[in-house]
Structure 1
Amino acid sequence: MILKRLYILNFKNIADKEFSFSEKINCFVGNNGIGKTNSLDAIYHLGMTKSYFNTTTSYNIRLGEEFYLLEGTFLKENREENVVCSVKKGQKKVIKRNGKIYDKLSEHIGAFPVVIVSPADRDLIHEGSDTRRKFLDGMLSQVQSSAYLDALLRYNKVLSQRNSLLKQFYENQHTITDTLPIYDDQLDHYGTKIFQIRKDFIREFVPIFQEQYAHISKGKEKVDIQYDSQLNNQDLKNLLKVHFSQDISLQYTSQGIHKDDLIFSINGQPMKKFASQGQQKSFLIALKLAQFHYLYKATEVTPLLLLDDIFDKLDNERVSQIIHLVISPPFRQIFLSDTDSKRTEEIIREITPNYQIFKL
C-alpha cells in the first residue's frame, strides 16, 4: 500500500497544503514549528481516524477556523482508494472511504495500516501503564478486525457502569447485590477475551521485537517485554469477588485488564532506570519496527512507516542501521521529518534515488 496524494486544510498549524508523494521515501524538512510533524500526523489520522499526538478532536482545528479536512489517495492492491476525514466544531467526526460514510469510525481502523515512530514515544517508557496499554490496544485494533476493539469498548462501558454503582453504594449505602453480578459476568466475559488476545500477541511479538533491536544495536544489549496482568494468576470473576470490599472503599474497580501493563527491560534491568537515551530510543524504534512486521504479517498489507525526528540522540552507526533496515522489503513507502535538510538528503541519496524532499 502507498499514499499517492495528501491534502490538508486547517489542520493544526497547516492552513492549506497538498503533497504528491514518491513511492519510496518522502522527507519533510525545515525548522521546528512549521508543520513537519503535523504533516506526518495527518497521514496517521487518515489511517487511525485520530491524531497520534492530540486525541481531543477540536484541538486539531487550526486556530480561528471552524473545521479541518484531510484527504488521501491511496493505492492498495493496484486500486486507488480515497479517504476523507472532516470535522466541524460541535459536530461528530466524519470518515469517508470512496465516498461512503462509516457508521462507526472503528470500522475503518486496520484498512490502511500505519506505524509511527516519534519522540513522543518516550512516554511508553516514562509514563504510566495506561500509555503502554494504549499502544497495545492501538496495534491489536489494526490486526484483529473489529472484534478486539468491540470487546474493549464494551468492557470499558461496563467498567464505567460498575464504578458508578460502587460510588453510589459508598455514598448512599444502597444495596447493589442484584445488579453487580450482571456487571461482573460481563467484565469477566469481555476481559477474559481481551486478556487472551493480548497474551497470545505478546508471545508472538517479543521475538520479532528482539530481532529488530539486535539489528539496530548489533547485538550489544539484550531486551525483553513481559505482559503483566492480574489475570495471569487468577480468573477475573474470582478477582472481582475477592476484592469487592476493597472496591467499595476505593469507589472503583481495582481488578481487571484495565490494570494490565508491559514491562520493558534491558540486560535484565528496568529500561526506565538503566538504559541510556540512545538505548531507549533504539528500544522504541525496534518496538515500532516490530509493530510494522507484525501488522504486515497479520494483514498482508504493507503499512505506511512514519519516522518523526529519528536522527536525534542516535549515533551515526545506529542511524545507518535503521535506514538500511527500513529500505528493504517488506518496507515500502516511508515518510520522515528532520530539521537538517542537508543531513537528510545526504543519508537518503546514498541509499536510493527514489525520494522526495519537501521543504516546509
Structure 2
Amino acid sequence: MLQLKSISLLQFKNYTNKVFQFNKHVVGICGKNGVGKTNLLDAIHYLCFTKSYFSKSDVVNVQQGTQGFRIEGLFERNEQDETATCVLRETNKKEFLIDGAAYDKFSQHIGRYPCVVIAPDDAVLITGASEERRSFLDSLLSQINPEYLQQLISYQKILQQRNSLLKSAADTGKIDEALFQILTQQLLVPGNFIFEKRSQFLVSFLPKVKRRYTEIAQREEDISLLYESRLLETSFEALLAASQQKDRALQRTTTGTHRDDILIQLNGQPFKNLASQGQRKSLLFALKLTELEVIHEERKIIPLLLLDDVFEKLDEDRISNLLKKVCMENNGQVFITDTNSDRLRSHLDQIKADFELISL
C-alpha cells in the first residue's frame, strides 16, 4: 500500500507556502491553465524521484524572487507513515531526507515510492528519437531493480569519460592509448548487464503493451514492438573493437546500449509515420499503464499515477474508458489534472469512483 496523505510546498514554482491534504483514492486537481496544477504534480514527482519530471534544472523550479525551495510529503507505505523531504538550499545544494535522515546518494531513493506519469509532452515517447524510449525503459527498470540503476550510472559515467577522451584527442592530435583501452574495457561489464536485463525484460513487457493497446483501441491492429540492439547479433566487446576507428573519427562512442531502441511499427511501417493522433495516444497509455502493472507485480506496491491534462482531444467514450482503467481497475492512488471540473466530476461520478476535487 502506498498513499500520499499530504504535501507542503515552500517557494516551489508558483506556490509561496501551501499545504494540500489528500484523503481519497482518486484526487482531481482542477483550475484554469497557469494556476499550478502541473506544478503540484511535479512536486509529487520530486518526492518520488528526487527531481522534476518537466525540467532538468532544479533552479528553474524556485519561485521567482526567492532562493531555494522545500517540498515535504507525508506518505503511508506498507501501513507505516513516513515523511519525505526535498530541500534545495540557497546555495543550490539539494538534500533529500526520509524522516529526517538524509541519503548519501539520491539513487538510493529510487523505487521507494514508485510513480508513473502521463503528460501531454510524453507523445515524444512515440514520435521522438530513440533516447526517449531508452529513458522510459531505464526509468522503469531502475524502479524495480536497484542494481540496474547502479550499473546504468556506472555505464554513463565511463561513457562520458571515453567520449571526453576522444574529443580531447581530436583537439590535441594525441590520445592516451592506455587510458582509452582501459575505459573501453570498463564499459563491458555495465554495458552487458544493461543489455541482458533489457532483453530479458522486454520479452514479456512488449507483448503486454501490445495487448493493452488492443484493449484501449478496442480493435485489432497490425502493430509490432521489437527490441533493437546491435548486441543481439554481436558481442559488445567485438562491437567496440570494430568501431574504434570510427569512434576516433567522430569523437564519440558509436556503439553500445546507449544506442538501443524499441522499434514500433504499424502495418510494417514506422508507427509514428502512419499512426493517427488517437493511435499515438492509445500507444502512450498502453506503455504507461503496462509500466504501472509491471512495477506493481515486481515491487508489490501499486505506484502513484499522475495524469496531467490527458483528456485533451479525447472523445467522451475514450475519457470514460481511460478513467475506468486507471481509477477502478487500478487500486493505487491517482492524481488527475483537468481544466474542466464539471467534466471530471461527471465522469468520476459515472464510474462511481472514490474521489475528491481540489480547486486551484
TM-score (norm 1): 0.96
Question: What is the 5 A alignment of 1:321-332?
Answer: 321-332=321-332
8 A Cα contact 1:27 1:358, kept in partner:
yes
Question: Who is 2:13 aligned against?
Answer: 12
Structure 1 segments (4+ residues) deviating >3 Å: none
Q: SS at 1:327's partner residue?
A: helix
CA deviation map 1:106-132 (0-9, x unaligned): 000000000011001011122222122
Asked if the contact 1:2/1:23 (under 8 Å) is kept, the reply is no
Q: Which runs of 5+ in 2 are unaligned?
A: none
Cα distance change of structure 1 residues 92 and 187 upon mapping to structure 2, 3 Å threshold: same
1:275 to 2:275 alignment: yes
- Separation in 1, partners of 2:23, 2:268: 42
Alpha-carbon distance between aligned partners in 2 of 1:320 and 1:298, rounded to the nearest angstrom: 28
1:344 to partner: Cα distance: 0.5
State the partner residue of 1:210: 210
Pick closer, same or farther for the CA change 1:6–1:267 going to 2, 3 Å.
farther
Q: Compare 288-297 and 229-238 and name the one that shifted more.
A: 229-238
How high is the sequence identity, in percent, across the aligned residues?
A: 38
The residue number in structure 1 matching 2:132 is 131
> Which residue of the partner structure matches residue 111 of structure 1?
112
Aligned length: 359
Cα-to-partner distance string for 1:204-245 (whole Å, 9 max, x where unaligned): 211221222122111243433221112121111111111111
Deviates more, 1:213-222 or 1:177-186: 213-222
2:165/2:175 contact within 8 Å kept: no
Match of residue 300 from structure 2: 300
Structure 1 unaligned blocks of 5 or more: none
Which position in structure 2 is the counterpart of 1:263?
A: 263
How far apart in 2 are the matches of 1:335 and 1:283? 21
Aligned partners of 1:22 and 1:354 also within 8 Å: no
Q: Do the aligned residues in 2 keep the contact of 1:281 with 1:314 (CA within 8 Å)?
A: no
Alignment correspondent of 1:309: 309
Contact in 2 for aligned 1:202/1:227 (Cα 8 Å):
yes
**Partner amino acid, structure 2, of 1:334:** V
> Which residue of the partner structure matches residue 176 of structure 2?
176
TM-score by length of 2: 0.96
The answer to which of 100-109 and 165-174 deviates more is 165-174
Partner of 2:226: 226
How far apart, CA to CA, are the structure 2 residues paired with 1:48 and 1:208? 25
Corresponding residue for 1:334?
A: 334
Q: Residue deviations 1:248-296, cap 9 Å, x none?
A: 1111111111111122223433221111111111110111100000100
Are residues 81 and 267 of structure 1, via their aligned partners in 2, closer, same or farther at CA, if it must alter by over 3 Å?
farther
Which secondary structure state, in structure 2, belongs to the residue aligned with residue 178 of structure 1?
helix
Partners of 2:318 and 2:266 in 1: CA distance: 17
What do you get for the CA RMSD once the two structures are aligned?
1.5
Residues 47 and 85 in structure 2, CA contact (< 8 A), matched pair in contact too: yes
Q: CA deviation at 1:81?
A: 1.2
Which residue is equivalent to 1:121? Answer: 122
Decide whether the 8 Å contact of 2:155 with 2:190 is kept in 1: yes
Aligned residue for 2:150, secondary structure, equals helix
Q: Could you give the per-residue CA deviations for residues 43-96 of structure 1, whole angstroms, max 9, x where no partner exists?
A: 111101111100211111111110111111111111111101110243321111
Matched ranges for 1:340-359 at <5 A: 340-352=340-352, 354-359=354-359
Partner letter of residue 133 of structure 1? R
1:40 aligns with 2:41: yes
The residue identity in structure 2 corresponding to 1:14 is Y
The answer as to whether partners of 2:25 and 2:355 remain within 8 angstroms in 1 is yes
2:26–2:353 Cα contact (<8 Å) kept: no
Q: 2: CA distance between counterparts of 1:175 and 1:131?
A: 32
**Aligned counterparts of 1:175 and 1:95: Cα–Cα separation in 2:** 40
C-alpha change, 1:342 and 1:175, in structure 2 (3 Å) is closer
| 1:104 aligned partner, one-letter code | K
- After superposition, the Cα gap between the structure-2 partners of 1:223 and 1:20, relative to the gap in structure 1 and judged at 3 Å, is farther
Whole-Å separation in 2 of the counterparts to 1:267 and 1:48: 37
Contact 1:227 / 1:263 at 8 angstroms: preserved in 2? yes
Query: What code does the residue aligned with 1:224 have?
Result: S
In structure 2, C-alpha distance between the alignment counterparts of 1:240 and 1:77, rounded to whole Å: 45
The residue identity in structure 2 corresponding to 1:130 is E
Q: Please list, as runs of the form range in 1=range in 2, the aligned pairs for 1:53-64 lying within 5 A after superposition.
A: 53-64=54-65
